[in-house]
Chain A
Amino acid sequence: MNVSTQGLLRFQAAGGEYVFSGHTGLLLRSSPALDEALAKPSSALEEKLGTCLYGKHQSQRTLRVGASKQTPLQNVTVFVTNECNLDCSYCYVRKNGISNSGRMSLDTFRSAMELFSSCFDMRRRVNILFFGGEPFMNLGFLKGATGYLDQIAERDGTQFTYSIVTNGTILNQEVLDFVVRNGVSVVVSIDGSEEVHDRTRPFRNGKGSHATVLRNVGVLSQYCNLAARVTVCDLNTDLVRLYEDLRTAGFWEVHATVVSDANAASADLEPGLSQLRQRLREMEDHFLANVREKRLVRFGHVAKYLKLIHLGYRSGGNAKVLPCSAGYSSFSVAANGDIYLCHRFNNVADVRFGSVADGLNWERRENFLDTHQVSARRGACASCWAAAFCGGTCYHTSYAADAEMRTVNELHCACAREWVLSALRVYVSMSAEERCVLENIG
């Protein structure tokens, strides 16, 4: 049984028992001497143990929000259009009551980029994430936007990279040219097997979209490394099969997230978590079997977590104090020019950080970031052993459950810990030679 106390995790794997410090990232083999020291630390050991196991407490890891022009802008999510040719069961555009007719104009986009340019440091790499709705339903805008950014890149030296989240149903020569010529990282939303996918992601006429998506993936995957974005609605999903099926279909990597509004604060979480645990154990075995064959399984955050375990927290540099960069170095621009925390909140006034017309609301942004750091979340984050990996649950999962963002979505919190534990178990099962891969992947 895993016992977590004071930010320490004790876990079993690979025939041994280990203690992981969430504070410092240190991994120790369990031993009677360690158990004794942990139970009754003598003053002689106090200092040594204190530094190694407790080092810097989560609550001491805070982010000072920089002033204007000091924060490097990392990502701008552009809500290209609210229009979509699918009718997904969990669509938050529909649930959040976002109108289905908004299309971003090039003028709005240009003004937004000029605003960001005046507010943030854009001398380095900035990613533009095209989102929707289905962004390829507004290809004219996409071409205009990249053409405009080519000019900005020439003028300011900013290096723009592009990514797009698409449902994968729209692909023609013009779309393919756009993707290839702009080196766009394509993320396709797909929910696994035909049976599951067609139930959650049908066309507006009710027909399943799975076959169309797979056909297009076959073409696109010849030109770029595609990522699959899977929304998991059932914690008992066979993850190994899901991953292998998607790899066979042509995907290079697979990201799975538990559906945003799944919250069972009042219900018993354990049966679902128990199923997830079992599925993660299967995935761990699969991962390790592939490692033995010198193949990396690119599933979920496992590789990212393993890297963090391996390289350490780098004096806090890689330890997360926020769940994501939203509001700090990433923003969402809605079709009407409003600027929001992230695309999932494109109509929520509390996290509207300004607009193209009114400029950036610095005070609201700073206030938000100060009150939503992991040490300030309303939950057990401050003493959680996994906090440096998770940074607090996704704001939207909290919002979907509690209509506010400082709380912790308990199901998502429990799932996040399971994912990190899974990575720890894999890590201790890998040999030192095999861990080489963690230094060679980006």
Chain B
Amino acid sequence: MKRQQPLHVILNVTHRCNLACRYCYYSKEMATKPGHMSLEVVERVFESISRSSATAVDFSIHGGEPLLHTPSYFRDLFTLQRQYLRGRVTQNSIQTNGTLLDETFIAAYEAIVGADTHLGLGLSLDGPQAVHDGSRRYRKTGGGSFHDVMRGLDLLHRHGIQVAILAVAPLPWPDCGRDLYQFFKALPNVHLVDLLVPSGDSFPDAPEGSLTKMYTELFDAWFFDGNASFEVRFFCSIIQALLTGSGTLCTFQEDCVINNIMLSIVPDGDTSFCDSFTEVKLGNIWTHSVDELAARNHPERMRFSVVERRRIEACLFCKWFNVCHGGCPAAHMPGSRSPHHFCSEYQRIFSHVDARLREIDIAASHGLGEENLTRLVNPRLSDHLRKLRYGREHGGHQGGDTAGGTGVMKQAAPVLKSQSAVGSLSRKDRPATTLPAAQPAAGKQHIGDFQP
């Protein structure tokens, strides 16, 4: 069958980086297999995709730090892409730490976009200087990278280039939610913020509840902002899931390795299904076709899926299952019965978002309907959900991130599910606890008491 959703390919174009961030999930892989990805490997990837059944492909140019390559590398990369994948729907994003942005890269970027290639930029920036430099330091000197990132951001702004910000939640500052929001809002050229949950052992000293405090405060600042200038993907995904039964983030996808087909390719062509699980090898781009590597029923995907089912067994008893589906498997701590390091914090965050939606009378039964969307204050949130609805109604490529480039981090296409009531939002739709006036065919069973 023809592939329904876009294939997501992460090209890890280098395993070198000029920074050494404290929470880097990729440092081991970089140390084991150092080096750049040659254009021969890149060409092989494009050529194999051109022979595959994939009709739409989202590329994330990742690393390491991609901008350690010369600007001509990117020109050549996209020339090859146009050459091999003409006629297919392609989207691209480069994920950079922003320290190496300069005029020569901007010139290359503008030439690539000018040649009708969709290319977004994602920039890693955790927040104000104290927050950012606490985690994101130079490998050689140990100094903070904040000033260089801001210089790069300013350069992009002067050229009118929009970016998506990728921030890892700075847990040592749990009270910074509102300040963090204001900081990002003050940046002139940001259309999206992706607030990532750090891996479990990144901030061992952060007290329990830090994530909840930071996220709920930031959520309130964003959710009630009538002049919001960007989407926050994590929150958009939660709200989408509460209203439709499934979210967008790959970390919220049920059985992600089967339902969200991704290929993470490293410089030597070895391919895994996720850059958090590079140790699981699907094959190598020189010896396996993209169709083989991307097969839903690849033995390694099937094996992983069997293990996943067991990890999320307890999640089936959770009222928020339809929001996170157990969360990212990479956040599971070996030996723990808890499916996700931040499980209890996630539940509190979901509960907070759910309560806010109910406060303004948003009903899950109305899904993405205008009855709900007109109640939202934040224009970027309602626009996002409208685009999503349009995408669903017209069965096209997903609508959330099409304008202005994306800083896509392993982002999944939405699963086209029928709308269903979910979580506590549907409570009001359930029959009353006393003898209901109608048979329970319309809702869920509540054991009734007979009251004449």
Interface positions of A (Cβ within 8 A of B): 18, 24-29, 31, 33-34, 37, 45, 48, 51-52, 55-56, 150, 153-154, 157, 159, 180-183, 221-225, 252, 291, 294-296, 309-316, 427-428, 433-434, 436-437, 439-441
Q: Is the CB of B316 within 8 A of A24?
A: no
CB-CB under 8 A for A183 and B296, given A45-B452, A52-B435, A52-B436: yes
| Bound complex: CA A45 to CA B452 (Å) | 7
B439 touches A428 (CB 8 A): no
The CA-CA distance from A181 to B2 in the complex, in Å, is 16
Is B448 in contact with A27, judged by CB distance below 8 angstroms?
Answer: yes
Residues from chain B with Cβ under 8 Å of A315 in the complex: 441-442
B443 contacts partner chain A, Cβ-Cβ < 8 Å: yes
In the complex, whether B445 has a CB less than 8 A from a CB of chain A is yes
Residues of A within 8 A of B295 (CB): 181
Cα separation A428 to B296 with both chains bound (whole Å): 40
Kindly state whether residue B32 has any CB partner on chain A within 8 Å: no
Pairs of residues from A and B, 4 with the lowest C-beta to C-beta distance, nearest first: A294-B314, A24-B439, A34-B450, A312-B440
Q: Does B22 reach chain A (CB closer than 8 Å)?
A: no
User: Which of the four size classes fits the interface of chain B?
Assistant: 35 or more
Tell me which residues from 1 to 56 in chain B have a Cβ below 8 Å from any Cβ of chain A. Answer: 1-2
Contact between A183 and B297, CB atoms less than 8 A apart:
yes
Known: A27-B447, A312-B442. A159 touches B1 (CB 8 A): yes
CB of A410 to closest CB in B, whole Å: 30
Q: Which B residues touch A48, using CB under 8 A?
A: 435, 437
Complex alpha-carbon distance, A308 and B318, angstroms: 19
Is the Cβ of A433 less than 8 Å from the Cβ of B309? no
Which listed segment binds A: B65-73, B156-164, B180-188, B299-307? B299-307
The binding surface of chain B is classed by DSSP as loop
A79 to chain B, nearest CB (A): 25
Question: With the chains together, A26 CA to B445 CA distance in Å?
Answer: 7
Residues of B within 8 A of A428 (CB): 447
In contact, B447 and A29 (Cβ under 8 angstroms): yes
User: How many interface contacts (CB-CB < 8 Å) are there between A and B?
Assistant: 122
14 contacts between A and B (CB under 8 A): A25-B440, A26-B436, A28-B435, A37-B450, A45-B452, A183-B296, A221-B306, A225-B306, A252-B309, A312-B439, A312-B442, A312-B444, A440-B315, A440-B318
Within 8 A of A (CB), among B295-333: 295-297, 299, 302-303, 306, 309, 313-319, 321-322
A56's nearest neighbour on chain B, judged by CB, is B439
- In B408-441, the 8 Å CB interface with A consists of 422, 435-441
Are B302 and A224 in touch, CB under 8 angstroms? yes
Contact: A31 with B449, CB < 8 Å?
A: yes
Q: Is the beta-carbon distance between B297 and A51 smaller than 8 angstroms? A: no
- For the complex, give the distance between the alpha carbons of A439 and B423 in Å: 9
By the criterion CB–CB under 8 Å, are B321 and A225 in contact? no
What's the nearest-Cβ distance from chain A to residue B5, in Å? Answer: 14
Instruction: Report the nearest A residue to B1, measured CB to CB.
Output: A153
CB-CB under 8 A from B442, the residues of chain A are: 312, 315
- A436 and B317 contact, CB distance less than 8 A: yes
A57, chain B: closest CB distance, angstroms? 12
Nearest CB on A from B311, distance (A): 12
Sample of 14 further A-B pairs with CB below 8 A, known A27-B447, A29-B449, A316-B441: A24-B441, A25-B439, A27-B445, A28-B447, A29-B448, A37-B450, A51-B439, A55-B441, A157-B1, A180-B297, A294-B316, A312-B441, A312-B444, A428-B447
Hey, which chain A residues are within 8 Å of B444, CB to CB? 310-312, 439
- The verdict on B287 contacting chain A, using a C-beta distance below 8 Å, is no
A319 to chain B: closest residue by CB = B441
Residues of B within 8 A of A313 (CB): 439-441
Tell me the bound Cα distance from A34 to B451 in angstroms: 8
A180 and B300 CA atoms in complex are apart in Å by 10
Q: Which residue of A lies closest to B321 (CB)?
A: A440
List of A residues within 8 angstroms of B438 by Cβ: 51-52
With a CB–CB cut-off of 8 A, which chain A residues contact B316? 294, 296, 437, 440-441
Q: Is the CB of A33 within 8 A of B452?
A: yes
Instruction: Find chain B residues with CB under 8 A from A154 CB.
Output: 1-2
Chain B residues near A310 (CB-CB < 8 A):
444-445
The minimal Cβ–Cβ distance linking B448 to chain A, given in whole angstroms, is 5
B53, chain A: closest CB distance, angstroms: 9
Q: Which residues of the other chain, B, contact A437 by a CB distance below 8 angstroms?
A: 316-317
In the assembled complex, the Cα of A154 lies from the Cα of B2 at a distance in Å of 7
* Residues A224 and B449 in contact, CB atoms below 8 Å apart: no
